[in-house]
Homo-oligomer: A and B are copies of this chain.
Amino acid sequence: MISTKGRYALRLMTDIAAYSGGKVVSLKDVSARQEISPKYAEQVVSLMVKSGLLISVRGNNGGYVLAKSPENYTAGEILRAAEGTLSPVACIEDNSPRCSRIGQCPTVDFWRGYYKAVTDYVNGVTLEQLANAERDKVGNDYNI
């Protein structure tokens, strides 16, 4: 399962992309709209800053701005910045400690394929697409 860090990161980035209009926006506003604990949102957003996906502005009237335009972000890079890796197993990551069974393990190739299926998918979705979904959905608060 993807943890709340990854899920919140995606929603926070989507919100900023959808509503900031390129201006600095405070996390207070973003987290309120997304109903995410402001203090926890801070920690998630700090991962985005550290990865260079968001630019922070400190002080009064400060906040965050996207580092590039929404169509140039993929969901994959946001999730990786939050989660660390999307690899299903440790042994196929870069810099993984060598598994002694790697030469005889029948499932390594299977996991590589799994990883590729996930990677291809998340790298194929842009933040712009998510932001459009956000704007489309507002007002559509139908309870199924």
Contact B144 A103 (CB under 8 A): yes
Q: Which of A107-144 contact B (CB under 8 A)?
A: 107, 109-111, 113-114, 117-118, 120-122, 125, 130-131, 133-134, 137-138, 140-144
Q: Which of A1-26 contact B (CB under 8 A)?
A: 1-2, 7, 10-11, 14, 18
Known: A1-B89, A87-B1. A133 touches B114 (CB 8 A): no
| Residues of chain A at the chain B interface (Cβ within 8 Å) | 1-2, 7, 10-11, 14, 18, 35, 75, 87-90, 98, 100-107, 109-111, 113-114, 117-118, 120-122, 125, 130-131, 133-134, 137-138, 140-144
28 pairs, CB–CB < 8 Å, chain A vs chain B: A1-B87, A1-B88, A1-B89, A2-B88, A2-B89, A2-B111, A7-B107, A10-B107, A11-B105, A11-B106, A14-B106, A75-B110, A98-B144, A102-B144, A103-B137, A103-B143, A103-B144, A104-B141, A105-B137, A106-B130, A107-B130, A107-B133, A110-B125, A114-B118, A114-B121, A117-B118, A117-B121, A118-B118
- Given A7-B107, A103-B141, A117-B120, 9 additional A-B pairs, CB 8 A: A2-B88, A14-B106, A35-B101, A98-B144, A103-B142, A103-B144, A106-B130, A113-B125, A117-B117
